[in-house]
Amino acid sequence: MKLLKTLLLTNTAENINKAAEILKNGGLVGIPTETVYGLAANALNGKAVAKIFAAKGRPMDNPLIVHIADFNDIERFNLVREIPENAKKLAKAFWPGPLTMIMKKSDIIPDEVSAGLDTVAVRFPSHPAAQAIIKAADIPLAAPSANLSGSPSPTTAEHVMNDMNGRIEAVFDGGACSVGLESTVITLAGEVSRVLRPGGITVEMLKDVLGEVEVDNAVLHKLANGAKAASPGMKYKHYAPKANVILLKCSDDEYIDYVNSHAAENVAALCCDEDIPSLKVKTFTLGKRNDYISQAHNLFDELRKIDESGKINTAYSRLPSTEGVGMAVYNRLIRAAGFEVVDLEKV
Ligand code: AMP
Ligand code: MG
């Protein structure tokens, strides 16, 4: 791959236009959104989109989310065959925001975006800089998370630079992401609406608007060998730090005892604030025990810090609750752990 000089663009009106220009010319820009930083390209230009896969080392069968800056952009850019009623309801409740909706795609969507599926994922982000860049470019932007494939998603411009320097044209620095966890993904392309990836918009919130909502089996469980993933991204070991993350299914006291009995220089606890005084190993805290929103916000940053500390090769965490935003924390952590769970109740 040819090494590029990656510009770091500060948050100014001039740089919004600069980012838009690069994107219109088929280049790649790391852009801030409220969830995580995205690696954006013109969604209607298959060649530009193909560069995203090369820069990330992303498997070609993993489709991308298309970002727009107004609900009407779906129709204006002719992205889908038909807008389902449920999409209108969800957009009214949650857009702009961290919800991605999958619908039947139109012919305009390049195969690179949909990875050969007959659907397209669409999101209207709330981050003002993301909206301004999309509006200035006046094109929909395909953007997966701006990390190297398999690494934790980036929540600051610095994270993006660490992974993407030399691989893309520019990174736009819009500050730290407020949600810090990727969007909720729901498919509206089938009979019943189904959550494929949990996020800040919870299953409970979606049910309040739609009534019936299913949760895809792959959200909380490992796919059986050879099974087809409804959301291809869910089948990969994802969000993984280099250190081995091991999840413990146990009570709070058992967690403390277990970790302390495995205390060593290279062992850490990925834990909650309340655990810190009782633990005898280096701690990386996700936040307060019942504050799943903070835990979601801190998760990727703490996973990166475990590796940055240089000497940790094992991090123990608890299996989180699946309630509310807890489901999103559960879904990411269990992938970071490569589905490795030690059930202390059964030991
Ligand atoms: P990322 O942008 O890297 O956070 O990943 C986007 C996620 O959305 C991945 O898990 C994809 O598999 C999923 N996704 C995107 N488009 C589709 C689609 N058309 N059908 C199913 N899942 C999709
Ligand atoms: Mg990703």
CA 347, CA 325: separation in Å to the nearest integer?
A: 29
H or E element at residue 328: helix 326-336
CA of 172 to the centre of ligand 1 (A): 23
49-53, 166-170, 171-175, 308-312: which has the minimum mean pLDDT?
A: 308-312
The answer to whether residue 338 scores a pLDDT higher than 90 is no
Q: Give the bridge partners for 123, in sequence order.
A: 67
For ligand 1, atom 5, name the residue with the nearest CA.
144
What integer is the mean pLDDT of 202-217? 97
H or E element at residue 100: strand 99-104
What is the position in ligand 1's atom list of the atom closest to the CA of 231? 22
CA of 233 to the centre of ligand 1 (A): 6
For ligand 1, atom 22, name the residue with the nearest CA.
231
CA 120, CA 143: separation in Å to the nearest integer?
A: 12
What integer is the mean pLDDT of 202-214? 97
Q: What is the pLDDT of residues 131-185, one digit of tens each?
A: 999 999 999 999 999 999 878 789 999 999 999 999 999 999 999 988 878 899 9
The answer to whether residue 196 scores a pLDDT higher than 90 is yes
pLDDT at position 301 is 87
- The pair of three-digit structure tokens given for residue 87, joined into one six-digit string: 């999409």
- Higher local confidence (pLDDT), 336 or 281: 281
65-74, 172-181, 231-240: which has the minimum mean pLDDT?
A: 231-240
Confidence of residue 238 (pLDDT cuts 50, 70, 90): low
CA 67, CA 60: separation in Å to the nearest integer?
A: 19
Mutate to test the pocket of ligand 1, among 28, 53, 62 (most ligand atoms within 8 A of CB): 62
The answer to whether residue 22 scores a pLDDT higher than 80 is yes
Q: Where in the chain is the domain with CATH 3.90.870.10?
A: 7-219
For ligand 1, atom 1, name the residue with the nearest CA.
144
State the Cα torsion 103-107-109-115 to the nearest 10°.
80
Order of strands across the sheet that contains 170-172: 7-9, 170-172, 29-31, 38-42, 141-142, 65-67, 119-123, 99-104, 184-187, 194-197, 214-215
pLDDT at position 34 is 94
State the Cα torsion 334-338-343-344 to the nearest 10°.
-100
User: Of the candidates 331, 87, 324, 121, which has an alpha carbon nearest to the alpha carbon of residue 203?
Assistant: 324
CATH code for the part of the protein at 244-343: 3.40.50.11030
For ligand 1, atom 23, name the residue with the nearest CA.
231
Q: Where in the chain is the domain with CATH 3.40.50.11030?
A: 244-343
88-92, 241-245, 272-276: which has the minimum mean pLDDT?
A: 241-245
The answer to whether residue 233 scores a pLDDT higher than 80 is no
- Within 6 A (CB) of ligand 1 lie 62-65, 102, 114, 117, 119-121, 144-145, 182, 185, 196-197, 231-234
Share of the chain above pLDDT 70, in %: 98
- Higher local confidence (pLDDT), 19 or 335: 19
- Higher local confidence (pLDDT), 6 or 338: 6
The answer to whether the Cα torsion of 178, 151, 129, 109 is positive or negative is: negative
How confident is the prediction for the chain on average, in pLDDT? 94
Instruction: Please name the CATH architecture into which domain 7-219 falls.
Output: Alpha-Beta Complex (3.90)
pTM of the model: 0.92
CA 106, CA 160: separation in Å to the nearest integer?
A: 31
